[in-house]
Structure 1
Amino acid sequence: MTDTVIEISGVSKSYGGVVANHNISLKVPSGGITGLIGP
């Protein structure tokens, strides 16, 4: 079983009335390389 080093669930972000993302979930396992690119 792989350990999880970062876990997020149900994250949403909006700017005024514009929804940038809705209900995002992410699980990052240990022992690897993970990149997240964004503004």
Structure 2
Amino acid sequence: NLLDFAFAGNFAFAGAHQPTTGTVVGRLARLLAQMLIE
């Protein structure tokens, strides 16, 4: 649903712009965003 997509997008955006990008959370956020976009 749209709220889930927006939340995941915000989560991925935050993860991509913080020093914790290399952490598991950052990787999962990017993976989730890619899955939703594709």
TM-score by length of 1: 0.20
TM-score by length of 2: 0.21
Q: Which has more radius of gyration?
A: 1
